[in-house]
Amino acid sequence: MRFCRALARAFDDREKTISNGISFLGHTYPVTRFAPPFIICRRGSGEDTEGLAILKGSSRMGEDLLLLAVYRPPTVSAAAVAQMRRFFVSHLGTLPQSGPPKSVQQLLARQRQMQGLAG
């Protein structure tokens, strides 16, 4: 149970998680992408590589849930993450809406507004 709390805390501090990686079952996985609700990691190289992905969402009762997958070639992270997302939404709960940060959303809104004024 302690390792579940540690995995959940990985979402709390981006810099710490990226610098330390994710520890799971005696292995450390360097983080290759920190993009909540996902953290994607990979260790090894070539044929001897192993990926780890963690998804954080909410149960239908509103409780935090983690879904973790460890995968090896020929599976790639894009396929694993897509399958995890579908499984979570179909069977477990909901995922937070992802999109650009608020500052980027505001910038895009201003650009659209300026284009509307110019047109």
Q: Would you kindly state where each structural domain of the chain is located, as residue ranges?
A: 2-118
Percent above pLDDT 90 for the chain: 65
Contact 34, 14 (CB under 8 A): yes
- Backbone region of residue 108 per phi and psi (left: phi > 0; alpha: psi in -120 to 50; beta: other values): alpha
Query: How confident is the model at residue 112, as a pLDDT?
Result: 86
Nearest to 53 by CA among 19, 20, 78: 78
Topology, domain 2-118? Beta-Lactamase (3.30.450)
Does residue 100 carry a pLDDT above 70? no
Query: How confident is the model at residue 108, as a pLDDT?
Result: 84
Global pTM reads 0.77
